[in-house]
């Protein structure tokens, strides 16, 4: 939601890299996978210097060294094409799988041979203000035989010339064949692309002055990520994946796109986990996840602002689902009165607010507060020592959700944390909630984007100290254990208590906007 983060050149990648480097060994417990199959020309575990991280001084400029893959995910053994511009020097590619490797953040899986320098053509600005590099020619084809499922960072490094030593990332996921019997971690690639400012345009701002009225009306995966090429992986995914693999539960991996392209992937999943920021959802994505929940699959939203923007995919020459369409205005959308008209999910036409899936509604940005326990007996708080009113600074921010007693909110919604929160000098609350459905599935939501980031370790910038980190890590480990055990509602049915927190029946306290008056929504 927050447009202020969209095109801040350089700042985000430096901050995230610093945060990761400063918290490598914060997690103290052992467990989970300590190795993974390897292939290619190098299979050495990551050393103590963690060669997969890019030092601040080595970050390549957006046209100095940049690339993208022609697929957001592949199955192990499938190939993908890599498109790279490297006008000033030859380069190499190393594939790192992020995870828990004795505390290191990733493991080297494959290294390419030297690849020759090449200046790709200038990117194209389409009539819909979409920046694309579809006119680039492929640089190399990458084979993934033997690569284990997981979230990967391809590290491009200039090996000679004026850019020698400069580096950048290309994210890609090796998706699981099935999530049956596993907890599925979904990479929110739609949201990553929506905020991608490479070429000067994204779904929030664009043009020389970076104004809202010049924003892109659609964005494509056929371009590099700008400024911070792996923000979504480093901030919203890596801390979660590390802790999940440390938990030892059986895991599976996929992306937002895969939820639409292969909804059968969800069949029999024990749980589905969404990371720190998963804002952009298509109609088929939501239908697939709702169907899985109603068949007994647990859900966990470990961020905020989830299921807020309704978008749809379009195809391009590289294949289906390569373009994200989001006019954010029914009047601009050529499909202006349909279930997949690209407006916020809570807006008309065909309003279907996110609370019927997440449990609550997006509230505001920028948010700041201490995660404050309302129900200390909540089963995921076991072993934390939390009491009613226990407050954990740094766990509420940058965006926050709140529960509202309106149509669509589950009748048995259990508010487990009710946190006083400041949003742009306005006072509101951020909630953490849990509900269960007839299938036995349980749905947990933290209500805060900063929850996942805090799993890295204490960080003075965000105000999260050792106690906050220990609490978040313990709750998340409890969560993965519970997700993997099967439908959480069978042993831990939700006990509705929304009335006891005296929430307002209107969303006017936040910046998420009012609720439409379509069937299934009360309006406010």
Burial of 22 (0-12, 13-18, 19+ CB in 10 A): middle
Position 242 scores a pLDDT of 94
- Model confidence pLDDT, tens digit, residues 27-42: 222 222 222 323 333 3
Token digits of residue 45: 């575990």
In the 3-class helix/strand/coil scheme, how is 168-197 assigned residue by residue?
A: EEEEEEEECCCCECCEEEEECHHHHHHCCC
Q: At residue 436, does pLDDT exceed 90?
A: yes
- Other C-beta atoms closer than 10 Å to the C-beta of 41 total 10
> How far separated are the first and last CA of the chain, in Å rounded?
20
Query: CB–CB of 393/463 below 8 Å?
Result: yes
- Structure confidence at residue 85 as a pLDDT band (50, 70, 90): very high
Q: Is 338 left (phi over 0), alpha (psi -120 to 50) or beta?
A: beta
Q: At residue 233, does pLDDT exceed 90?
A: no
Preceding omega of 349 cis (within 30 degrees of 0): yes
Q: At residue 370, does pLDDT exceed 50?
A: yes
Looking at per-residue pLDDT, the higher value among 296 and 522 belongs to 296
Q: At residue 183, does pLDDT exceed 60?
A: yes
Q: At residue 11, does pLDDT exceed 60?
A: no
If you search the block for the tokens 């069949």, which residue do you land on? Answer: 267
If you search the block for the tokens 């020097």, which residue do you land on? Answer: 89
Burial of 108 (0-12, 13-18, 19+ CB in 10 A): buried
Token digits of residue 171: 């994210």
- Model confidence pLDDT, tens digit, residues 475-484: 999 999 999 9
Q: Where are the alpha helices (DSSP H) in 153-212?
A: 189-194
Residue 339 to residue 327: CA distance in whole angstroms: 14
Write out the H or E segment, with its range, that includes residue 371.
strand 361-372
Q: At residue 8, does pLDDT exceed 80?
A: no
Position 45 scores a pLDDT of 40
Helix-then-strand count for the chain, H and E: 9, 23
Give the strand order in the sheet containing 319-325. 218-220, 319-325, 309-316, 280-282
Residue 116 to residue 185: CA distance in whole angstroms: 36
If you search the block for the tokens 């590390």, which residue do you land on? Answer: 242
Token digits of residue 66: 């940049």
Q: What is the dihedral of CA 186, 190, 196, 202, to 10 degrees?
A: -160
Tell me the three state secondary structure of residue 469: helix
Q: At residue 453, does pLDDT exceed 80?
A: yes
Position 2 scores a pLDDT of 56
Strand partners, 252: 184
- Other C-beta atoms closer than 10 Å to the C-beta of 427 total 10
In the 3-class helix/strand/coil scheme, how is 298-357 assigned residue by residue?
A: EEEECCCCCCCEEEEEEEECCEEEEEEECCCCCCCCCCCCCCCCCCECCCCCCCCCCHHH
On whether the pTM is more than 0.85, the answer is yes
Angle at 147 between CA 318 and CA 221, to 5 degrees: 25
Inter-axis angle of helices 466-484 and 238-247, to 10 degrees? 60
Burial of 349 (0-12, 13-18, 19+ CB in 10 A): middle
Looking at per-residue pLDDT, the higher value among 395 and 461 belongs to 395
Position 503 scores a pLDDT of 77
- Structure confidence at residue 227 as a pLDDT band (50, 70, 90): low
User: Of 95-104, 117-126, 323-332, 356-365, which range is least confident?
Assistant: 95-104
**Measuring CA to CA, which residue among 197, 252, 238, 235 is closest to residue 219?**
197
């Amino acid at each position: 939601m927050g447009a202020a983060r969209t095109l801040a050149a350089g700042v985000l990648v430096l901050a995230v890299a610093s945060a990761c480097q400063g918290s490598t060994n914060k997690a103290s417990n052992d467990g989970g996978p300590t190795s993974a199959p390897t292939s290619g020309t190098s299979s050495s575990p990551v050393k103590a210097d963690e060669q997969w991280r890019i030092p601040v001084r080595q970050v390549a400029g957006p046209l100095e060294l940049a690339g993208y893959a022609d697929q957001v995910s592949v199955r192990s053994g499938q190939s993908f094409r890599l498109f790279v511009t490297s006008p000033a020097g030859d380069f190499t590619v190393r594939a790192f799988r992020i995870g828990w490797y004795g505390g290191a953040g990733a493991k080297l899986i494959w290294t390419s041979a030297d690849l020759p320098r090449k200046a790709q053509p200038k990117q194209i600005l389409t009539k819909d203000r979409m920046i694309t590099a579809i006119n680039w020619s492929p640089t190399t084809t990458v084979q993934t035989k033997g690569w284990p499922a997981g979230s990967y960072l391809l590290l491009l490094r200039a090996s000679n010339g004026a850019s020698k030593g400069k580096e950048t990332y290309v994210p890609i996921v090796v998706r699981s064949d099935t999530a049956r019997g596993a907890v599925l971690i979904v990479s929110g690639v739609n949201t990553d692309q929506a905020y991608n400012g490479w070429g000067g345009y994204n779904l929030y701002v664009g043009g020389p002055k970076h104004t809202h009225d010049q924003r892109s009306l659609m964005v494509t995966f056929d371009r590099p990520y700008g400024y911070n090429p792996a923000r979504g992986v480093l901030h919203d995914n890596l801390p979660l994946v590390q802790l999940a693999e440390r938990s030892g539960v059986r895991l599976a991996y996929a992306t937002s796109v895969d939820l639409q392209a292969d909804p059968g992937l969800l069949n029999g999943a024990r749980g589905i986990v969404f990371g720190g920021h998963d804002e952009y959802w298509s109609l088929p994505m939501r239908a697939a996840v709702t169907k899985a929940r109603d068949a007994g699959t647990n859900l966990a939203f470990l961020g905020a602002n989830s299921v807020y923007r309704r978008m749809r995919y379009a195809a391009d020459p590289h294949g289906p689902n390569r373009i994200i369409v989001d006019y954010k205005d029914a009047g601009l959308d050529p499909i202006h009165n349909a279930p997949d008209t690209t407006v916020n999910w809570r807006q008309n036409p065909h309003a279907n607010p996110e609370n019927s899936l997440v449990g609550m509604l997006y509230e505001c940005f920028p948010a700041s507060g201490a995660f404050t326990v309302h129900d200390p007996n909540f089963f995921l708080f076991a072993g934390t020592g939390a009491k009613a009113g226990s407050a954990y600074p740094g766990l509420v921010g940058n965006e926050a959700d709140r529960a509202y007693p309106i149509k669509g909110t589950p009748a048995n919604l259990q508010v487990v944390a009710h946190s006083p929160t400041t949003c742009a000098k306005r006072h509101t609350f951020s909630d953490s909630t849990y509900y269960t459905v007839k299938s036995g599935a349980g749905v947990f939501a933290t209500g805060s984007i900063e929850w996942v980031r805090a799993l890295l370790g204490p960080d003075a910038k965000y105000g999260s100290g050792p106690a906050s980190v220990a609490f978040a890590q313990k709750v998340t480990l409890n969560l993965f254990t519970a997700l993997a055990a099967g439908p959480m509602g069978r042993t831990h049915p939700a006990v509705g208590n929304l009335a006891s927190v005296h929430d307002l029946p209107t969303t006017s306290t936040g910046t998420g906007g009012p609720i439409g008056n379509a069937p299934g929504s009360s309006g406010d």
